[in-house]
Every structure is written in structure tokens, then in C-alpha cells.
Amino acid sequence: MIKKNYFFLFFFCLVLFACNGSKSYSFDKPSIKVTNELKNEYLGLYFQDKKIGYFFGSAYDGLLENRKVFYLYGNALIRIKLENDLINTILNEEIIIDKATKKAIYFSYKQQIGDSELKIIGVDRDNKLMLRTETGGNIQYFELEGDYVPLASAGFLMWQEGIREGKKSKFKVFVEALQKKEDLTIEVGKPRFVEGKKIYPLKQKLGNIEVESEVLENGDIFREESIQGFTMKKITKEEALKFDGELSLYDMLSYSLIPIDKPITGYVKEIEIILRGADKFNIPETDFQKVLKKDNYHLIKVSSKILKGEKSEKINLEKYLIETPKIQKNHKKIKELAETLTKGVNDDKEKVKIIVHWVNGNIKKRLRDRSSALEVLNTKEGECEAHSMLTAALLRSIGIPAKIVGGITYSKENQGFLYHAWNEVYLNGYFLPVDSTFGQFPADATHIKLTEEENMEDIATLIGKLKIEIIKFY
């Protein structure tokens, strides 16, 4: 099951403050003097009226030597019960923004989900955002060209400029939780009056994800924000520290499960379905998946054999061979394992089979979030995306293009479709679906692809909406 924490972490970054580069740079936090508090707010996170977490955000005027700055600080705690264990998601972030240029000077983001940790530090150097990421005991360095700011600071920067009807702000943001860059647009609509107060509607679009809310002139949230069963609302500090319970695996499965009227049996070689509830979603076609868009549904056919008569258009395979913060294909442990597993094997197809089945047999299937392939290898456990990250890293390390994809697949245990992640591997001119979580080469035809690794978070917008009608399968 694809991890739900994408949604939690997006909420943290979007609303918290609305209420391979050089290693020679210093990533130490600059010493600043706080002079004035601008904002201080607690927000509760609820799922089906049960409080499962809170977010705290604050903002201050400050001085960095003689330079005027904004200092932003936030933290969050979210509780999820998985496999009888209470898993805490703990987030902390500090951001320093130049008051005159609105550029990020420094930020520090720390994310802990159970025993999985991710740390990111960013510093401004020569109009570049230099990044230092640490996960699984491995440190990497990257740089972003241009005026990027941490996502969590964008809402605050807009509020500082004043909220008014028709205002549209655009930001280049670094999405801390996902370790990726994205475009963010925030648009202010026509206000309405409630008890003499102006209430402004906000439309926020981050990549393909849209969030709507209502705020007061001072930036405080007025209307509860709700996306697929999750609700945010303003609370006091005392209320923030009280929990109604925790989000259980049963709650998550019950809400995200897409039931069907009759069970699917055996290894499925081909399937045709009608998918409803994804009208605005751009469902991709592949050599193994055909999609026909109708007025209010998608007709989808998936096969374990090639459906198209011609090969796909020429694509840039280099992007599926590179190292990323999550896919450390150049790390010694990753490279040595891949080379050991495939030693003496010359055929790429056989190499892929070996790696898919090794990951399936050696990585324990547990609902534990992992931030990178190396962390998966070190802990030897994780959910479906963890298996996919490690599979991609191992394959890329020996020169085989591999990507992570997301969508839905059939669960015999739950007799319905669940959200899932797997891989596509480039062999003989085609991207072949494989699934190391289930040990399938190729993946069976119940794997309905909805998105790829650059936009895996988009799936969060579909949770609780999809309905499936099986036409036929064999």
C-alpha cells in the first residue's frame, strides 16, 4: 500500500506558515536575534472526526548581523497505529528568509517516521540553494539553480505582502518532505463577510495537487480544510496536546480500499475495467496499458503482454539511470550488492529477474516508511515504495534504466484494489512492469498505472474517490 504520509507532509508544508553540489560550504545555522513575534498558531489534524495530530507554526522578525530577516519555526506530531505499534511522525523545521529579497538564507528540515529519519539543510550561496540531505546514514549534496524557497515558507511570504482579491502569487519551491522542486501558485478569490469579518477563498496549486481554503485578512485559517477525509482546523495549545486516539491500519484500509463486486482469482494476464472518480486525472498509456477517456469514466485495458504494435516514442533514458536523494545508485553498498547478485549473468532480463526476486525475498514487507533505497537496504524492511526504491537503485547501479510508478493493484486478502507502487524496467525497447513487493516478473495485469515517481503524491487526491467495474479478465 502506497504510503499515506505523503498527504500528511504536504499538509504540513502547505498550511504550517500560512497560519550534487560543492561540499565546501558551511551548513551551520546562522546566529540570529529575534525581535518581534508575527504569528503563532496551532492546527489540529483530524481523520473522520478523530484528532490524530497537530501542527504548530510561528513567525518572527529578526536580525542576522545588520540584515533584517524573517525567522519561521514549526513542528508537528501525527500518530498512526500499524501492526500493533504506535508510529509517531515528528516534523521540525526552521527557515530564515531575507526580508528585502524574500530569498531563503537557511532552512533545516527534520522528519522522523517511526525509526526512519530524514534531515535536510539548505543554504543560499551565489543565488543557488545548496542542499545537504541525510538518510540511512548516507549524506548527499545537491544544488538548485534559481530563486527556490522551502515550500513551508511560501504561504507566509504571500501573507506578508498582503491578502487582497485577485492577487496571484507564484513561487519556485523545494518540497522538503518529497525532496523535489515544484511550482506553486496561490490565488485569492472574492471575499465574503461573516460576522463583519472578511473571509478570502484561496486556491493553491502545487504541481498537479490543488487545495482550497478560506482565510482571514491576517492569514489565519477560517474554514476547515478537507482533503479525502482529512480535516484541519485551528485549535489552542492545550487542545493540541490532547489526542482522541490514533489512525489505525484498519481505518486507512477501510477508507482507501476500492471494493469490487466479485473476487479476482489466479494470475491475471489481461484485464479490462471501467474506472470512475478520476475525471480530471491524466492516466498514462504505456506499451502494456491502453486508456480511453469517456465523459465520466476511463476505460482501461492492461496486459502482461505488449498491447501496442509499435514501440513507444524515443525517450530520454538518462533520467532513469541517475542518482537521486531517494535512489542512491552510486553508493558502495548498493553497487556491490547489485554486482554480486548479477555476477556472471550477461542478459539484462535475467539480471532484472534476479534483483526483483532478491528484493522480494530479503526485504520484509512491513508498513514502515523509508526515506531512501539505502535505508531500505540497511533496515531490510519497508512497504511497497521501499521495495521499489531499492529495486530501482540496484538496477540503475548496473546500467539498467528503471523507474518507480504508482497506481492501484488487486489485493486478494482484502478483495479489492489498494494503492501501490512498483517498477517499470527498460528491456528490449519497452518499459516492462515488475513488482518486487509481490515478486512478480512481469507484474500481473491488475497493476493499473496512474502516475510516475516525479508525481507519486498526486495519488493522494484520488483516495476515497475511485470506483471500479470489472468488465473481464483472464
Residues of the chain with pLDDT > 90, as a percent, come to 59
Q: State mean pLDDT over 262-267.
A: 90
Q: Are 214 and 202 in contact (CB under 8 A)?
A: yes
- Asked whether residue 110 carries a pLDDT value surpassing 60, the answer given is yes
Span 383-429, pLDDT tens digits: 899 999 999 999 999 999 999 999 999 998 888 999 999 999 999 99
Q: Rounded to an integer, what distance in angstroms lies between the CA atom of residue 472 and that of residue 474?
A: 7
Q: What stretches of 136-229 adopt beta strand conformation (E)?
A: 138-145, 148-150, 168-175, 180-188, 192-194, 197-206, 209-215, 225-227
- Asked whether residue 335 carries a pLDDT value surpassing 50, the answer given is yes
Helix (H) or strand (E) holding 434: strand 430-434
Q: Rounded to an integer, what distance in angstroms lies between the CA atom of residue 98 and that of residue 437?
A: 46
Q: Rounded to an integer, what distance in angstroms lies between the CA atom of residue 97 and that of residue 62?
A: 10
Q: Rounded to an integer, what distance in angstroms lies between the CA atom of residue 52 and that of residue 42?
A: 14
Q: Are 1 and 56 in contact (CB under 8 A)?
A: no
**Residue 472: what pLDDT?**
95
Output 154 or 15, whichever has higher pLDDT. 154
**Residue 57: what pLDDT?**
92
Q: Rounded to an integer, what distance in angstroms lies between the CA atom of residue 230 and that of residue 364?
A: 29
Q: State mean pLDDT over 427-447.
A: 96
Determine what percent of the chain falls in helix, strand and coil, rounding each to the nearest 5: 20, 45, 35
**Residue 471: what pLDDT?**
96
- Measuring CA to CA, how many Å separate 208 from each of 151, 455, 462? 15, 8, 12
Q: What is the pTM of this model?
A: 0.79
DSSP string, 315-336: --GGGGTS--SS--TTSHHHHH
**Residue 461: what pLDDT?**
80
Output 127 or 106, whichever has higher pLDDT. 106
How many distinct helices (H) and strands (E) make up the chain?
A: 8, 28
**Residue 425: what pLDDT?**
98
Q: State mean pLDDT over 89-97.
A: 95
One-letter amino acid at 202 equals: L
Q: Rounded to an integer, what distance in angstroms lies between the CA atom of residue 25 and that of residue 131?
A: 10
Helix (H) or strand (E) holding 339: helix 332-341
- b vs e for 225-256, b when ≥16 Cβ sit within 10 Å of the residue's Cβ? bebeebebbebeeeebeeeeebbbeebbeebb
Pairing mode of beta strands 467-473, 270-276:
antiparallel
Q: Cβ of 296: how many Cβ atoms within 10 Å? A: 8
Q: What stretches of 48-196 adopt beta strand conformation (E)?
A: 50-64, 67-82, 85-98, 104-113, 116-125, 128-135, 138-145, 148-150, 168-175, 180-188, 192-194
- Asked whether residue 121 carries a pLDDT value surpassing 50, the answer given is yes
> Do you find a cis peptide bond into 191, omega within 30 degrees of 0?
no
One-letter amino acid at 351 equals: K
**Residue 313: what pLDDT?**
61
Q: State mean pLDDT over 305-331.
A: 84
DSSP H helical ranges for 83-223: 151-161
**Residue 3: what pLDDT?**
44
Q: Rounded to an integer, what distance in angstroms lies between the CA atom of residue 228 and that of residue 214?
A: 17
Q: State mean pLDDT over 5-13.
A: 51
Q: State mean pLDDT over 241-256.
A: 67
> Residue 229: which residues within 8 A CB-CB, separation 6 or more?
47, 48, 255, 463, 464
Pairing mode of beta strands 148-150, 168-175:
parallel
- Asked whether residue 148 carries a pLDDT value surpassing 80, the answer given is yes
Q: Are 325 and 140 in contact (CB under 8 A)?
A: yes
The pLDDT mean for the chain works out to 87
Query: Which residues face 113 on adjacent strands?
Result: 89, 116
In order of their start, the domains of the chain are 5-250 (no CATH), 258-473 (3.10.620.30)
Q: Rounded to an integer, what distance in angstroms lies between the CA atom of residue 68 and that of residue 345?
A: 61
Q: Rounded to an integer, what distance in angstroms lies between the CA atom of residue 439 and that of residue 363?
A: 11
**Residue 22: what pLDDT?**
42
**Residue 115: what pLDDT?**
83
